[in-house]
Structure 1
């Protein structure tokens, strides 16, 4: 009996997918047209459409008047995808900032939201912040939350419990936040490190699109990263793969909060850069002012940033020798300075990473900005559920018009 029930459920899902696929391809159709195109019986089709209407996945509305006379019967109705119905939610819950994107059943990004959040909140408050952000986005953009198929959640630091070899065993903090979101929205939650999700987004829609092997460096208040090898995210045995910021550059250097010494994060993070400039007699309030001074040609600031880029380039060169990427993507305030920052990174990789090997490694600035990890949450859902990535809107983060709070230059998020 169970096997028969499972078979019927699989058939139902296949028929539903056929209906949604035809609506994606053809746009609004009458029930009769839809029945003819997908080849389902009238009873089966009407049952599926009724269920989709109840779930807000599709909408039914009068067909446009074609100028033809009609009898006294009811006006013709057409079924179309609910372009405002959100089924996939991507969330990047950073230490100081939150980004949310939602995608509809047609796999188009239909809403974006970004806002600062208090730092160092406990798990329960972090979950509440994420729930409030999603609900605020829904309210602002007048989005109908269709039955949510899944939530892709990005968090800073380790998500998998490093004491466990089971990648599904999360840290208590990550587990609590994911569980609260799942309970509130009644949907499965896939959770990963936010820098790792950003790497996936850049490969899917951003600067590394078209490449199967990429390294992502997140360089801001903290330093993190993500690795995509042969088209798949790399997690490692304990969920710690891609922690570029905790590569030790000086074993005798300053202690790091990770327990190591002389970590890259302590040398090149924005707080470290501000401190280095202050030691040279130049005061900058924040990253924006720091980058402005460098762009204006302030020599002390330029020297600090160039030196940091050389250090980052050496670490990336060593990593490139191990994972052999086609592309390195750099996100963060310093990445806006191509000649001063990205060029030294390119030079270090060319000089130190198998220089005699006939290969080319692109070094590019991020094109998705602060939204990358939230978009990565959506990409993770699409890949996990086997959906077609090409159906998602081609440029999910390039047009800020009509959005809210999406200025990546002011993003204070960090992977650590």
Structure 2
């Protein structure tokens, strides 16, 4: 039987609604109408059919923050029993995992320390073991996975070579028999913050991951931007000193080499303050250590100077700062804001919103799920 134009349109509209809910999670009918561009009468009819078929369920909006007075709108969400997604954040020394249902609720999570070498034959089996272990602890069957995403540390083609990336993708896909989408972990975190976190209310943002190194990501029009060569948003590799220290990226005097967390620990040690890791550095600043405070404040100013240039070029609605050092809140955000206000275009000074990330240590793992839903919104 040949489908009528109306039946074909209804199927396309269904896919449009489902793809938006996969990307964004629970939304009111009004939000869905706005995001999909469908007239409210059409949208309401589609939602009613999907609810009747059990594809969607209604969710009462318990949080009325930002809505003002009145009864909160009931939201619709994909039926949580419809499938699961796994997201990995594969860093330099640690791998994190989240497993979420189609309603974007985290049902399992885990962490595993990694050796320093970035090799697929080491990371892929460790990722599979971590997923099986976390799923088992949460009584979740890996066979219910719909797709897997992973955010990888570093610049495209530098730390992870194309051959290693493909080997990682192939191993995980064959292990679990589902689509696998790989991307940069800072870009993944940027998309997660834009979708569910500190950037949810804006369309355009710059994300900074201030950790052992400095990574970044751009979200424009609600979508993560990779750029022509996969390097968009890599502010940690903006050169701030042309004759400075060589960087692993092949450049010289990169921001990461003067303000990355690993360098800050080295600076503290040279000044007589030995700290084991970034958690210890954060604690030292909170405990008002003069050395730690001076080192971190100087680095925040340097980061702010680079972000002032980024703001002039991109004019983002918001700059979101994540990573371990962002836990210091205003102690690092204020120097960043001050540097931007001093150096940004006069029209932008004082108007660029600089905020702390919301999603914590699992931001990039959650973002890996967001990336796969952006890349394959209907297939997965």
TM-score range, shorter chain: 0.7 to 0.9
The answer to whether the 8 Å contact 2:301/2:339 transfers is: yes
Matches within 5 A, 1:228-247: 228-247=219-238
Taking the aligned partners of 2:273 and 2:216, their CA distance within structure 1 comes to 29
Distance 1:307 1:86, change over 3 A: same
Matches within 5 A, 1:239-258: 239-258=230-249
- Aligned with 2:94 (options 88, 94, 97): 97
- Superposed displacement of residue 146, structure 1: 4.6
**Unaligned runs of at least 5 residues, structure 1:** 26-36, 40-44, 53-80, 163-169, 388-416
Distance 1:284 1:145, change over 3 A: closer
- Aligned with 1:327 (options 302, 318, 329): 318
- Superposed displacement of residue 118, structure 1: 2.5
**In the alignment, which residue of structure 1 is the partner of 2:69?**
none
- Aligned with 1:183 (options 165, 174, 181): 174
* Per-residue CA distance 1:6-64 (angstroms, 9 max, x = gap): xx999999999999x9xx99xxxxxxxxxxx859xxxxx9xxx9xx9xxxxxxxxxxxx
**In the alignment, which residue of structure 1 is the partner of 2:65?**
none
The answer to whether the 8 Å contact 1:277/1:301 transfers is: yes
Matches within 5 A, 1:3-152: 83=80, 86-152=83-149
Taking the aligned partners of 2:227 and 2:49, their CA distance within structure 1 comes to 44
What's the C-alpha RMSD, in Å, of the aligned pairs? Answer: 3.4
Name the SS of the counterpart of 1:152 in structure 2.
strand
* Per-residue CA distance 1:112-154 (angstroms, 9 max, x = gap): 2222222315212211111111111110000133543321111
The answer to whether the 8 Å contact 1:86/1:145 transfers is: no
Structure 1 range deviating more: 197-206 or 9-18: 9-18
Structure 1 range deviating more: 81-90 or 333-342: 81-90
* Per-residue CA distance 1:89-133 (angstroms, 9 max, x = gap): 111111211111122244433222222222315212211111111
Matches within 5 A, 1:136-175: 136-159=133-156, 161=157, 171-175=162-166
- Superposed displacement of residue 319, structure 1: 0.7
- Aligned with 1:201 (options 167, 192, 211): 192
Name the SS of the counterpart of 2:145 in structure 1.
coil
- Superposed displacement of residue 239, structure 1: 0.7
Taking the aligned partners of 2:261 and 2:347, their CA distance within structure 1 comes to 34
**In the alignment, which residue of structure 2 is the partner of 1:56?**
none
The answer to whether the 8 Å contact 2:132/2:142 transfers is: no
Taking the aligned partners of 1:119 and 1:322, their CA distance within structure 2 comes to 35
